[in-house]
């Protein structure tokens, strides 16, 4: 019985990992940057329009960066299960040729919609 459980786990883990990697696509870059690779991120689905404005951002204590190549991405309020939940900030490495657009909320008529953080071409 124990061997069957291990065999099932050995088959399930690679399948789960391969399904997670399917969300990231690496394509060769064409154009002026020298033919390197670019990571193409699949856009996140649009968040529903919510009637409750997000609370003010929380104050976060930011420690030392893990390296000079890292910068801080601040936390944000996410809509989860009918309420705003705080998602803490984290360190991220710079991506040459891109800048990070942080998560933010936009008022649309009587409601609010979250725009997910993302990398954008400079």
This prediction's pTM: 0.59
Beta strands in 1-122 (DSSP E): 24-28, 37-41, 70-73, 76-80, 83-87, 90-93, 98-101, 104-108, 111-115, 118-121
Stronger pLDDT, 30 or 85, i.e. the higher one? 85
The tens digit of pLDDT for each residue in 3-16 reads 544 443 443 333 33
Sign of the torsion formed by the C-alpha atoms of 61, 67, 72 and 73: negative
Sign of the torsion formed by the C-alpha atoms of 53, 59, 63 and 65: positive
Q: What share of the chain is helix, strand, coil (3-state, %, to 5)?
A: 15, 40, 45
42, pLDDT greater than 80: no
The tens digit of pLDDT for each residue in 59-100 reads 999 999 999 999 999 999 999 989 999 999 999 999 999 999
Instruction: Collect all residues with Cβ–Cβ distance below 8 Å to 69 and sequence separation of at least 6.
Output: 93, 94
Please give the biggest Cα pair distance in the chain. 59
Q: Please state the domain extents for the chain.
A: 1-42, 43-122
pLDDT score, position 48: 80
């Amino acid at each position: 019985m124990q061997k069957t459980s291990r065999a099932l786990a050995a088959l399930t883990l690679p399948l789960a990992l391969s399904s997670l990697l399917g969300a990231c696509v690496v394509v060769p870059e064409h154009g002026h940057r020298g033919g390197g690779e670019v990571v193409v991120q699949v856009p996140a689905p649009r968040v529903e329009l919510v009637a409750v404005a997000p609370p003010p951002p929380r104050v976060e204590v930011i420690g030392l960066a893990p390296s000079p190549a890292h910068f801080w991405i601040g936390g944000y309020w996410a809509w989860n299960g009918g309420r705003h939940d705080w998602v803490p900030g984290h360190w991220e490495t710079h991506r040459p040729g891109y800048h990070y657009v942080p998560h933010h909320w936009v008022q649309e008529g009587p409601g609010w919609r979250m725009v997910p953080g993302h990398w954008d071409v400079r």
